């Protein structure tokens, strides 16, 4: 499966929560369109969405659950039960927040839960040190997903190519993700050492892309 993803694009089909596209059947349609366009795999959030997508394809899927917890800033797959649910719904790879923050269950325990399901654990990281620790704890892939979300040093605009390069030295496939808004940025990630690139908002969040264009037009109109 990892060979199938080498040097390829994966698309994150995560609509704006509560938005017009936030329905499992629409997420599944997004996923099918992404695969038709050349994506080799998908990143899908939520059990209902994952089930809907899994019925349409056998392409590799990174699954995750997002939760807003009162006592922890960790949102991505914080519980072992989430891991079990994602595996049952059809995820091939299960993404886990691997950042160094207070959490309800340890990263190592979550990786062990992933291994128990026979799936691969993806560590969503914000720093190279988190990637090194995740590799030692049993992750199978390292993602730059959390760059810019934890207060650690990160680019203000654009993707964190330095983090991708650093993660690629940890001995595991590095998955570039986060703020890839243009095709040429995705190509740079591969050249920086990424095994694959995940693109989300620029492809599947119509509200965000519309906002980029609307703001550019508004500024141009104001300047005139």
- Confidence class for position 224, pLDDT limits 50, 70, 90: low
Q: What is the mean pLDDT of the chain?
A: 97
pLDDT tens sequence across 137-177? 999 999 999 999 998 889 988 999 999 999 999 999 999 99
Contact 204, 14 (CB under 8 A): yes
CATH homologous superfamily, domain 2-223: Aldolase class I (3.20.20.70)
φ, ψ for residue 8 (rounded to 5)? -125, 170
Q: For CA atoms 147, 149, 151, 156, give the dihedral sign.
A: positive
- Confidence class for position 119, pLDDT limits 50, 70, 90: very high
Report the Cα 6 to chain-centroid distance in Å. 16
Percent of the chain whose pLDDT exceeds 90: 96
> Cα separations (Å) of 165 from 128, 143, 172, 193?
9, 11, 12, 6
Q: If we measure between CA atoms, which residue out of 189, 186, 200, 196 comes closest to residue 34? A: 200
Q: In the prediction, which pLDDT does 223 show? A: 60
Q: If we measure between CA atoms, which residue out of 135, 202, 139, 199 comes closest to residue 169? A: 135
Within 55-89, where are the H helices?
80-89
> What is the mean pLDDT of the segment spanning 29-52?
98
Look up the pTM and report it: 0.96
| All structural domains of the chain with their residue ranges | 2-223
Q: In the prediction, which pLDDT does 156 show? A: 80
């Amino acid at each position: 499966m990892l060979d199938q993803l080498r040097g390829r694009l994966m698309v994150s089909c995560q609509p704006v929560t509560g938005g017009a596209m936030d329905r499992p059947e629409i997420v599944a349609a997004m996923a099918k369109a992404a695969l038709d366009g050349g994506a080799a795999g998908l990143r899908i959030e939520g059990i209902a969405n994952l089930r809907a997508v899994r019925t349409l394809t056998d392409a590799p899927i990174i699954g995750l659950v997002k939760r807003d917890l009162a006592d922890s800033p960790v949102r991505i797959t914080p519980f072992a039960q989430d891991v079990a649910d994602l595996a049952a719904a059809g995820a091939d790879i299960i993404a886990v927040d691997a950042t160094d923050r207070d959490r309800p269950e340890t990263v190592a325990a979550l990786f062990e839960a992933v291994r128990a399901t026979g799936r691969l654990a993806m560590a969503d990281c914000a720093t190279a040190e988190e990637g090194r620790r995740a590799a030692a704890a049993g992750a199978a892939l390292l993602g730059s997903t959390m760059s810019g979300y934890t207060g650690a040093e990160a680019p203000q605009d654009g993707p964190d190519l330095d983090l991708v390069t650093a993660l690629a030295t940890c001995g595991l496939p590095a998955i570039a993700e986060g703020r890839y808004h243009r095709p040429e940025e995705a190509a740079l990630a591969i050249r920086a050492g990424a095994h694959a690139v995940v693109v989300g908002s620029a492809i599947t969040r119509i509200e965000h892309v519309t906002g980029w264009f609307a703001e550019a037009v508004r500024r141009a109109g104001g300047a005139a």
